[in-house]
């Protein structure tokens, strides 16, 4: 792999700083995690967006959360066709191998992926319709979210509503996985739907009793 | 979505702690990131493993890294077949929309996904061979890494060698994406291969001059 | 400009070393910063003193901090009289054009400018009182810091107290700029007061709750 | 100063990392610099721009350069009127107190301040003409650079030419300071004019023999 380059010096400096402080102070825990394996309590599915740090907002230590991050925190429907399914593999590993007790889907404000899906469905982003657009095809998962928000006239409000649909559709798709449904029905797993407004530092969770999201 | 449950109280409590401290102190930055968008300098592809916190080891603030996490930090080869490809969508978004300057693939020690691939290829985990195994099919991406390490007799050593192959094969697969290759060849993107020993707090990077990984 | 001389050879040699290493490794980031502009998260106002390297102590990459350095890290009061005000121009550019989220004033130990102000106010440096002394007139900004430390008998201790006053007076003067005050009151900007003991490698920050500086 | 806020946690973490590594490894030098004072070899006047790290491109250690950074690396003409002159104070301190051997003015590509001056002079930025615009009034120093580049038709090329004029006009203004002129004429000080293209990693210096800048 002749294209690999050395890491920029400031990142190496920062790593050595971490090693001399956080690692040094917490070494026993790191060693135990390495020797006895991880036992995370929850899987979190969040966006790749650089503004969403699930370990920060939940004060998480190493070892607590098994975290999958993809564009727009989406889970596709169950489809065991023998092809590569990174998200489904992560869910399977978390639920069947690690036996996490919670799967949390965390959506967020100003999501570029959701905005792209809106624009694609609204006919404003033809390039995302091309077969070769990985982002476009991935965001197809959220197409039902565009349909369901048809009554939201304001485009900005509709994108925000679609960000929450991305959470709900992912939760629905999770339930199409037999091993997820079994675990949920046998009380071995609970699902949670969250949406965070990163600018305002707010966290909302889906409440099935009222059928919508409310601030925690 | 009637299956969603309220978040456990301790997580809500921690969130409020974060909101009263880190968010409060850094509110102006969060607001600016929300209003003016993210401009991350790098994409990091790391494992979902709960022991790997890239934001910690690199002292990263919100806004610095666009982070994709999947099982075993793998990138599949370029294959624009119109299906869902979460990893390829994340790479496309980072390189084409965000125009990150670096893509860093970060492997790690004691990777459960890599161990599974080893066992599957060695005939020790027949369940992973089934078409319906998402983890098995996802780990097929790493099969060439099993072949290339055939000369490593000790199984534990071979798994460790395969962890590094997971990084190298991902880097090779990244170069099969035309927009990645173009950006690399035009000096608009550099690729980096890292492997961290989480128990020992070590970071190794691939050095093409010597053809192997060396501690930073 | 017939007085310009060629750069000493050792600096040219060092530059070529940087170009062959750091620049080469980080070229994609430098190109992106050039093409897409800077988006620094913070402005830092520090002293010109050769012992204060803010990029080192905060492991900063190119693109992170907008840095203004002047004698004794001072900000004069708001005074839009149409004359040249280099510090005010830097603050205005950072807050209004770049919309930084933080302004950090970083004072330091053994500050020659602060020592000069002390000596001038104590009648020990008459040459600094002359109208033609740029350093003397610039240090006039810190005169209230001499008054406020009148109860510190030991001269060395008083100079150290004045170094911290230089930070506080600058923060107070920053708040006299209408656009700074607005941004602070609207939660788009936070101000921070730091003082570093360069010999001991210590960093102290001002805590308004206790009204003094404490080690981080 | 009730408006001061605590430093964001990631910066405190990075500082502790620096303290545990770079400071620890270089402690003797930091202590000596604190005890015996700074003896920098050169003053560098560069821009506040986050992309210009003079300590990086010249591999500078703590103690080597006395660095003044302002918008567009400008030096105003000598004007001892008793008002605050931050740049003039820095020059006076460097030349008279520290007796540096070199003053280096370092301009750079894509300078927002120079662009603003161009637009202001070309009638494209009326807001910069207002008396209350600190950036506008500061950039008045560069007005002669707009006149001198009148023959450059292309606006982008003219801005680049003005970036170099910012260096030359600063060098000319430096020579209006009697103590600078004396030191230069008595061979106690040399002046240097540089311009760096941050995206390309290039460094150019002014050569009076050819009357223009050439790559080092």
Could you give the ipTM of this predicted complex?
0.96
Compare CB distances from C60 to A7, A10, A17 and report the shortest one's residue: A10
Q: And the tokens for A157?
A: 């409000």
| D138-151 pLDDT, tens digit each | 999 999 999 999 99
Residue A101 CA: distances (Å) to CA of A32, A42, A56, A171, B38: 21, 6, 20, 15, 33
* Token pair 């003044």 in the structure block, residue: D68
pLDDT tier, C1 (very low <50, low <70, confident <90, very high otherwise): confident
| Residue of C107 and A55 predicted with greater confidence | C107
- Asked if C131 is an interface residue toward chain B (Cβ–Cβ < 8 A), one would say no
Q: Return the residue in A2, A3, A14, A203 with the most chain B beta carbons within 10 A, the one to mutate for interface testing.
A: A3
H or E element in which residue D4 lies: none
What residues of chain C lie within 8 A of the CB of D135, using their CB?
89, 92-93, 97
Which residues contact residue B39 at a Cβ distance below 8 angstroms, ignoring those fewer than 6 apart? B63, B98, C36, C39
Q: And the tokens for D64?
A: 């080597």
Say how far apart CA B41 and CA C28 lie, in whole Å: 10
Burial label, C159 (beta-carbon count in 10 A; 0-12, 13-18, 19+) = buried
Q: Are strands C202-207 and D202-207 parallel, antiparallel or unpaired?
A: unpaired
DSSP category for residue A4: B
Say how far apart CA B76 and CA C201 lie, in whole Å: 46
- Asked if B114 is an interface residue toward chain A (Cβ–Cβ < 8 A), one would say no
Q: Domain-by-domain residue ranges, chain D?
A: 1-37, 38-215
What pLDDT score does B25 carry? 85
Q: Are strands B190-197 and B102-108 parallel, antiparallel or unpaired?
A: parallel
Quote the mean pLDDT of chain D. 95
CA distance B50 to chain C (A): 26
What pLDDT score does A148 carry? 98
Within its chain, how far is the Cα of A48 from the centroid?
Answer: 8
Find, among D183, D198, D205, the residue nearest to D56 by Cα: D198
Say how far apart CA C111 and CA D109 lie, in whole Å: 32
What residues of chain A lie within 8 A of the CB of B59, using their CB?
14, 17-18
DSSP category for residue B101: S
The torsion angle over the Cα atoms of residues C24, C25, C30 and C36, rounded to 10 degrees, is 130
**Across residues D22-40, what is the average pLDDT?**
92
DSSP category for residue D73: G
| C65-103 pLDDT, tens digit each | 999 999 999 999 999 999 999 999 999 999 999 999 999
Task: Please determine, for residue D2, whether its predicted confidence score (pLDDT) is greater than 90.
Answer: no
Say how far apart CA A165 and CA D127 lie, in whole Å: 44
Closest-CA residue in chain C for A3? C25
- Asked if A209 is an interface residue toward chain C (Cβ–Cβ < 8 A), one would say no
What residues of chain D lie within 8 A of the CB of A17, using their CB?
13-14, 16-18, 20-21
Note down pLDDT in tens along chain A; length 216 residues. 788 999 988 899 999 999 999 999 899 999 999 998 999 999 999 999 999 999 999 988 899 999 999 999 999 999 999 999 999 999 999 999 999 999 999 999 999 999 999 999 999 999 999 999 999 999 999 999 999 999 999 999 999 999 999 999 999 999 999 999 999 999 999 999 999 999 999 999 999 999 999 999
Q: And the tokens for B32?
A: 């600016």
Whether residue B144 contacts residue B112, with contact meaning beta carbons closer than 8 Å, is answered with no
- Asked if D102 is an interface residue toward chain C (Cβ–Cβ < 8 A), one would say yes
Whether residue A162 contacts residue A118, with contact meaning beta carbons closer than 8 Å, is answered with yes
A121 in a labelled binding site: no
Cα-only R_g, chain A: 19
Within its chain, how far is the Cα of C14 from the centroid?
Answer: 26
CB contact under 8 A, C31 and B61: no
| Residue of A3 and D1 predicted with greater confidence | A3
Say how far apart CA A123 and CA A96 lie, in whole Å: 40
Where in chain C does DSSP place strands (E)?
Answer: 42-47, 65-70, 102-108, 190-197, 202-207, 212-215
Instruction: Scan residues 3-22 of C and list those with Cβ closer than 8 Å to A.
Output: 22
Q: Are strands D65-70 and D42-47 parallel, antiparallel or unpaired?
A: parallel
Q: What percent of chain C has pLDDT over 70?
A: 100
CATH architecture assigned to C39-215: 3-Layer(aba) Sandwich (3.40)
- Asked if C41 is an interface residue toward chain B (Cβ–Cβ < 8 A), one would say yes
Whether residue B144 contacts residue B165, with contact meaning beta carbons closer than 8 Å, is answered with yes
Instruction: Write phi, then psi, for C214 (nearest 5 degrees).
Output: -140, 145
Say how far apart CA A92 and CA C178 lie, in whole Å: 56
Note down pLDDT in tens along chain B; length 216 residues. 788 999 999 999 999 999 999 898 889 999 999 999 999 999 999 999 999 999 999 988 899 999 999 999 999 999 999 999 999 999 999 999 999 999 999 999 999 999 999 999 999 999 999 999 999 999 999 999 999 999 999 999 999 999 999 999 999 999 999 999 999 999 999 999 999 999 999 999 999 999 999 999
- Asked if B123 is an interface residue toward chain C (Cβ–Cβ < 8 A), one would say no
CA distance D138 to chain C (A): 5
Cα-only R_g, chain B: 19
| A39-66 pLDDT, tens digit each | 999 999 999 999 999 999 998 889 999 9
Quote the mean pLDDT of chain C. 96
Closest-CA residue in chain A for B93? A135
CB contact under 8 A, C32 and B61: no
Find, among C131, C46, C137, the residue nearest to C87 by Cα: C46
CA atoms within 13 A on the CB side of A174: 33
Task: Please determine, for residue D1, whether its predicted confidence score (pLDDT) is greater than 80.
Answer: no
| Overall residue count recorded for chain A in this entry | 216
CA distance D187 to chain C (A): 11
D108 in a labelled binding site: yes
Whether residue B118 contacts residue B135, with contact meaning beta carbons closer than 8 Å, is answered with no
Whether residue C195 contacts residue C106, with contact meaning beta carbons closer than 8 Å, is answered with yes
CB contact under 8 A, C34 and D110: yes
| C3-49 pLDDT, tens digit each | 899 999 999 999 999 999 999 888 999 999 999 999 999 999 999 99
Q: And the tokens for D60?
A: 């500078």
Instruction: Please state which of the ranges B78-92, C23-37, D112-126, D164-178 shows the lowest mean pLDDT.
Output: C23-37
Say how far apart CA A9 and CA B87 lie, in whole Å: 27
- Asked if B59 is an interface residue toward chain D (Cβ–Cβ < 8 A), one would say yes
H or E element in which residue D147 lies: helix D143-148
A117 in a labelled binding site: no
Find, among C64, B81, C69, the residue nearest to A8 by Cα: C64
C68 in a labelled binding site: no
Taking each helix axis as running N to C, give the angle between helix A9-18 and helix D9-18, from 0 to 180 degrees, rounded to the nearest 10: 90
Say how far apart CA C215 and CA C193 lie, in whole Å: 12
Find, among C51, C84, C57, C87, the residue nearest to C69 by Cα: C87
Q: And the tokens for A102?
A: 């919670």
- Asked if B91 is an interface residue toward chain C (Cβ–Cβ < 8 A), one would say no
Q: And the tokens for D28?
A: 């003797």
What residues of chain A lie within 8 A of the CB of C59, using their CB?
10, 13-14, 17
Closest-CA residue in chain C for A13? C59
Say how far apart CA C141 and CA D99 lie, in whole Å: 24
pLDDT tier, D3 (very low <50, low <70, confident <90, very high otherwise): confident
CA atoms within 13 A on the CB side of C29: 27
Task: List chains touching D (3+ CB pairs under 8 A).
Answer: A, B, C
Among 3.30.300.30, 3.40.1050.10, 3.40.140.80, 3.90.600.10, what is the CATH number of D38-215? 3.40.1050.10
Number of H helices, E strands in chain A: 10, 6
Residue B197 CA: distances (Å) to CA of A9, A34, A85, B153, D139: 20, 9, 27, 21, 52
Q: b vs e for D73-93, b when ≥16 Cβ sit within 10 Å of the residue's Cβ?
A: bbbbebebeebbbbbbbbbbb
H or E element in which residue B130 lies: none
């Amino acid at each position: 792999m002749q294209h690999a380059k050395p890491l920029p010096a400031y990142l190496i400096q920062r790593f050595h700083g971490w090693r001399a402080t956080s690692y040094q102070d917490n070494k026993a825990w790191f060693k135990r995690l390495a020797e006895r394996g991880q036992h995370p309590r929850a899987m979190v599915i969040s966006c790749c967006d650089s503004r969403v740090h699930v370990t920060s907002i939940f004060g998480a230590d190493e070892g607590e959360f098994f975290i999958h991050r993809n564009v727009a925190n989406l889970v596709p429907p169950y489809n065991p066709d023998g092809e590569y399914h990174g998200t489904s593999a992560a869910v399977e590993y978390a639920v069947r191998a690690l036996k996490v007790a919670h799967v949390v889907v965390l959506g967020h404000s100003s999501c570029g992926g959701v905005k792209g899906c809106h624009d694609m469905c609204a006919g404003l982003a033809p390039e995302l319709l091309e077969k070769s657009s990985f982002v476009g095809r991935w965001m197809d998962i959220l197409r039902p979210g565009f349909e369901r928000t048809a009554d939201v006239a304001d485009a900005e409000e509709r994108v925000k509503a679609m960000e929450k649909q991305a959470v709900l559709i992912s939760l629905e798709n999770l339930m199409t996985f037999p091993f997820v449904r079994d675990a949920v029905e046998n009380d071995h797993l609970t699902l949670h739907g969250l949406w965070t407004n990163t600018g305002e530092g707010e966290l909302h969770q889906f409440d099935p009793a009222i059928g919508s999201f409310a601030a925690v």
